[in-house]
Amino acid sequence: MTDDALSPEPARARRRPTAGMLPHSGPVRRIGAMVLRYWYLLRGSWPRILELAYWPTVQMILWGLITTHLLTNSTWIAQAFGVLIAGVLLWDVLFRGQLGMSLSFLEELWSRNLGHLFVSPLRPHEWVLSLMVMSLIRTLIGIVPAALLAIPLYAFNVFDLGPALYGFFALLLATGWWMALFITGLILRFGLGAESLAWLFVFLIAPISAIYYPVDVLPVWGQWLAYALPPAHVFEGMRAILFDDTIRWDHLGWALGLNLLYLVLGGVFFLQQFRHARVHGSLLQQGE
Amino acid sequence: MPNATSFSPVDATPAASIEPPALSVDGLVKRFGAVTAVSGLTFTIPAGATVGLLGGNGAGKTTTISMLLGLLLPTEGRIEAMGVDMLADRYRALPRMNFSSPYVELPHRLSVRQNLRVYADLYGLDLVGDRIAALAAELDLTDFLDRPSGKLSAGQKTRVALAKALLNDPDLLLLDEPTASLDPDTADWVRTYLERYRGRTGATMLLASHNMGEVERLCDRVLMMKRGRIVDDGGPSDLIDKYGRKTLEEVFLHIARTPHGDPHPDDPKAAA
């Protein structure tokens, strides 16, 4: 310990007139700060980066092999080679998108950092936006290598879906985001005991998302449920392109509208839980 | 025995008289279900004062600080920080405030520099690299700026937390037990640094502590809390005189062990 900083005490100074908003503060800077915080964390651990790409790649290889096998045994697969690989890649957009947002959120709880964050000028909605940006980054790191690897391995190029692919990507990412808003809201409410929701919740809707089969395979009540959520519309749209080479704007429209509705509901739910945490003091208590 | 107080610091600067109070708290109540953690706090802290919040475990110090910072919403009452209503408009005041506590940690896997960089951006600071370098030099952090925050000793973590708390040159600094778990040398260093900081900037400090020596040394004024209430207030030496004790620790023990904290519980005049 040095005493360099501890020179004799000067007389108490008159309060300097620096008070007020600082010159370079603003929502973009604060969102950028939080993205930087999660990027530092990700960058500092190569196993984390590897893990992001690992599962989508393994899934793609697995479903590619199943597709190769079914190609000679299923006329449905034979009509649209790649329908299963495209399904698994797009499903992973939703899953990784949700997980990418939830895990960044959980990092703050694990490190007990909320008390510092929310005495800074960071607003809750800015935090949410930074989690979304980080989710996009993590999803791209995870999905792009798997999508590229499918080209040499199975001669399937998901980018052949054309501009619609980017629409599907955005819609499924948005679905992952509103799911994450509900999940993180629940974790704020119930604490880290509920953290497993981040991994489990998305599989609740997998059976009715019609990832690998058409919606009409489901019972009637299941079809109603499926069409009440965006993913089934996206996957029906994906199959329409692969089988019929047509873009189903109706499905895309429904997926967009439903996503907007659920994003609003998820945002309101999250902010309500954030307020609940401020009422009950759990911003300081959250942690392992 | 008053449970509400308004006072001026012993050595208030001329500037203090024209500025709004650094903190103005009125009728602050916090209930968690049937438990009342804080009960009707009312006090004012003028700009430039250093005030200690003293009380035993469970007295309501951390709850009070959490409400002042906006981390916890009060059940009732009003808080103004530097003239800003903290319940309605806290984002106007937060850029001018900061906070340090050994119980709220910075992310362990980020290096000290990365943590400070993130918070510098959150506070919208200019010339971030220079600011971090200057604080690192002042707080003797330069040698471990690139070490993960989780791998630091308690003393190093405290200084890093202090660096984070001082990044934005706060006008109002809230410190929750700033020297808890530190060895006497490091604790003395931190106290000396805080004295220098106050002298240099004229910042207002509210300090929750269990260390009576620290409070006597740093604070102009002390708010004594017990069971969620302010049971007394005054300058450290005034309180020692009032209770007829030799040290603030004796005053603290007296208040902690006397049902209502009366200075002279057997003296009917004082009780009256």
Residue boundaries of the structural domains of chain B? 4-262
| A7 pLDDT tier (thresholds 50, 70, 90) | very low
d(CA A203, CA A234): 17
> Which residue from A246, A227, A252, A208 is spatially nearest to A91, judged by alpha carbons?
A208
Q: Which of A12, A127, A280 to mutate to test the interface with B (most CBs of B within 10 A)?
A: A12
Contacting residues for B251 by C-beta, under 8 A, at least 6 apart = B224, B239, B240, B243, B245
| Cβ–Cβ below 8 Å for B193 and A5 | yes
Q: Taking CB atoms and an 8 Å cutoff, what residues of chain A touch B126?
A: 22-24
d(CA A104, CA A95): 14
Q: Taking CB atoms and an 8 Å cutoff, what residues of chain A touch B124?
A: 21-26, 29-30, 121
pLDDT for residue A22: 53
* Per-residue pLDDT in tens (0 to 9) along chain B, 272 residues: 334 444 444 444 444 456 789 999 999 999 998 999 999 999 999 999 999 999 888 889 989 999 999 999 999 999 999 999 999 999 999 999 999 988 788 899 999 999 999 999 999 998 899 999 999 998 889 999 999 999 998 888 988 999 999 999 999 999 988 888 778 888 888 899 899 999 989 999 999 988 888 899 999 999 999 999 999 999 999 999 998 888 888 888 888 888 666 666 555 444 43
pLDDT for residue A221: 95
| Cβ–Cβ below 8 Å for A13 and B114 | no
d(CA B156, CA B140): 9
With CA atoms as reference, the chain B residue closest to A11 would be B199
Q: Taking CB atoms and an 8 Å cutoff, what residues of chain B touch A33?
A: 118-119, 121-122
Q: Which CATH code is given to the segment(s) B4-262? A: 3.40.50.300
Contacting residues for A92 by C-beta, under 8 A, at least 6 apart = A55, A56, A59, A142, A143, A146
d(CA B225, CA B251): 12
Pick A278's closest partner by Cβ from B72, B124, B138.
Answer: B72
pLDDT for residue A38: 92
pLDDT for residue B262: 64
Q: Which of residues 4-33 of B touch A (CB under 8 A)?
A: 11, 13-16, 19, 32
Q: Taking CB atoms and an 8 Å cutoff, what residues of chain A touch B138?
A: 5
Q: Taking CB atoms and an 8 Å cutoff, what residues of chain B touch A9?
A: 195-196, 199
With CA atoms as reference, the chain A residue closest to B19 would be A15
Q: Taking CB atoms and an 8 Å cutoff, what residues of chain A touch B70?
A: 118-119, 278
CB proximity B122 to A under 8 Å: yes
| Cβ–Cβ below 8 Å for A30 and B121 | yes
Q: How far is CA B148 from each of CA A76, A228, B117, B167, B222, rounded to the nearest angstrom?
A: 54, 46, 13, 19, 37
CA distance A133 to chain B (A): 16
DSSP, residue by residue, chain B: --SEEE---TT--HHHHHSPPSEEEEEEEEEETTEEEEEEEEEEE-TT-EEEEEE-TTSSHHHHHHHHHTSS--SEEEEEETTEEHHHHHHHHGGGEEEE-TTSPPPTTSBHHHHHHHHHHHTT-SSHHHHHHHHHHHTT-GGGTTSBGGGS-HHHHHHHHHHHHHTT--SEEEEESTTTT--HHHHHHHHHHHHHHHHHH--EEEEEES-HHHHHHH-SEEEEEETTEEEEEE-HHHHHHHTT-SSHHHHHHHHHHSTT--SSTT-HHHH-
pTM of the model: 0.86
What is the value of ipTM here, to two decimals? 0.84
